[in-house]
Structure 1
């Protein structure tokens, strides 16, 4: 029987402009424009569905054509889509400018609608039933701080494992009040620095800082440098393989979270599961989409062969 994963968080429109030549700040740059459904939670949900899990997505959405586009993408991915629709408001959006090498220049997040996902919505009968019926809960930090705390509390009360995607340095701080209740946290270096107030140069500097604030299991990505994974007092690093081509880095962290969680739910330890997540992220950056449209368990296993073993820190 398929494992069931409940995802709460961002499901919106991603707009990405890609600069064709060398980036010229403060000037007009030739480029191309691309638009698709996205959002941290939604990207992870689609990856998990492609990897064979039964996924339900709960997210606020506007009553506009963009909201319909997101809904169609959820249906296409095989997700059980359960939005809170606000007919008089617009669906959130994320607009990014990408350099020709795939790296982010700057982004603008128009996410005001997410503040209407208040804690009392978790008491709605069908939401309570969704929590009870699923094996695992995943959320992202697009949601309000008090709603995040309520999600963690509800998951803990039902003995459901819960994971979080940090989203950004500005939003990850919303996790602070309930950080000890999160079983798995996925974040990058900038987001980890926003939580801890420090940014060590070496990978080995992260485990004690994260443990000090109550984080038990986490994966900290560091761009092309070694990522760090914490697992109940142990710490490992892993050097991500360098992709032959980088089409777009959007969604890489979300796919890493999804690939890692898929392996964890299947019974693998974190230090092995993070290899699966790294393989998923590698496949994502080779695609122009935030979710690799060709992702399957078989393709992930092929990519896994290129991911090195972890190195034990302690």
Structure 2
């Protein structure tokens, strides 16, 4: 584990999930309950990395409202150094979802307009240049504009700092397309990977080949219970997740997988061993009702790691 800071730049907003208590009645008032927590792919991973013992700094746009206070409080609770760009007259980004009793999504609204104001010019500020130059790793996500991601990757490359990305969604992962070859890793699910490759291989060993052909040199693809594939320039590995008897909420599982993976990888782990750590971190998260499990730590990760099978090396 390095003593240098992991710099996280990306989504940090508020998630609101309303769950309908009975049978859904379209066009009518439905009884149910709200659950509100801080979210955002990059922010979820940042909090997990901090709880795993890393020094983490967050940079993200934020409004001058009560939602911004929720994000700030969540950063403080996780020990993340919080240095936002605050726009007092704007609303903090938010994601609002209505969910049926069985967990299926009815409709959702993503108000992410503020992220457009994280322009490449922000990266040219002296404080940002210094933060990039001194970082051990930069983690970002596709909530930011494509031109900002490209400028970030170029600035990091000039300083010799690796950049990892979180795809967020099939619609947003294309924002990384101009920077794929320069990413240390890109974390995605099969739908997001299919957007980059135009195909969905049945054989997990074919994912690295397809993504390399699309320009990505290293990445991680989650495939539900069928296993997670990770690859870099040295090889590829597959890990089958353990059965989780008490399933809480899958929200944030992919972000915790990225944080567990990167925590091990920055410590020198091979791609297969880093993948096992990522799967263990995801297992902790899906047992929790929160997107970022409060019990995440190196100790709980070590315990969860004992349940994760050895990585299978893919040819």
Distance 1:23 1:209 in 2: 41
Does the 8 Å CA contact 2:277/2:305 hold for their aligned counterparts? yes
Change (3 A) 1:122 1:199: same
**1:32 CA displacement:** 2.6
Q: Which moved more, 1:261-270 or 1:200-209?
A: 200-209
Q: 1:36 to 1:59 in 2, by over 3 A?
A: same
Normalising to structure 2: TM-score of the pair? 0.94
Distance 1:235 1:97, change over 3 A: farther
- Counterpart of 1:165 in structure 2 is 166
Matches within 5 A, 1:1-40: 2-20=3-21, 30-40=31-41
User: How far apart, CA to CA, are the structure 2 residues paired with 1:90 and 1:2?
Assistant: 35
Q: Deviations over 1:50-85 (max 9, x none)?
A: 000000000000111111111121112111111111
Separation in structure 2 between the aligned mates of residue 187 and residue 280 of structure 1, nearest angstrom: 16
> Secondary structure, in 3 states, of the residue corresponding to 1:169?
coil
- CA shift in 2, pair 1:304/1:202, >3 Å: same
Moved over 6 A (4+): 22-28
CA RMSD between the two structures: 1.9
Q: Conserved in 2, the CA contact under 8 Å of 1:103 and 1:249?
A: no
Contact 2:237/2:271 (8 A) holds in 1: no
* 1:85-129 deviation digits (Å, cap 9, x = unpaired): 111110001123445565656533210110000000001111111
What residue is the counterpart of 1:179 in the other structure?
Answer: 180
1:103–1:248 CA contact under 8 A, matched in 2: no
Alignment check: 8 A CA contact 2:14 2:95 kept: yes
User: Matched residues in 2 for 1:10 and 1:93: separation?
Assistant: 10
Any conservation in 2 of the 1:180–1:216 contact (CA below 8 Å)?
yes
Query: Which blocks of at least 5 consecutive residues in structure 2 are unaligned?
Result: none
Q: Do residues 127 (structure 1) and 116 (structure 2) align?
A: no
Between the aligned partners of 1:104 and 1:240, the Cα distance in structure 2 is 24
Q: Is 1:140 the equivalent of 2:154?
A: no
Structure 2 distance, partners of 1:12, 1:160, is: 26
Structure 1: how far apart are the matches of 2:199 and 2:24? Answer: 30
1:1-314 aligned within 5 A: 2-20=3-21, 30-98=31-99, 106-314=107-315
Q: 1:196 to 1:25 in 2, by over 3 A?
A: farther
Size of the aligned set, in residue pairs, is: 314
2:180–2:217: 8 Å Cα contact kept in structure 1?
Answer: no
Give 1:313 deviation, angstroms.
1.8
Q: Does structure 1 conserve the Cα–Cα contact (< 8 Å) formed by 2:6 and 2:55?
A: yes
**Contact kept in structure 1, 2:236 and 2:271, CA below 8 Å:** no
Using the TM superposition, give the Cα deviation of residue 200 of structure 1 relative to its aligned residue in structure 2, in angstroms.
2.3
Once the two structures are TM-superposed, the CA of residue 18 in structure 1 deviates from its matched residue by 3.0
TM-score (norm 1): 0.94
CA distance in 1, matches of 2:303, 2:100: 29
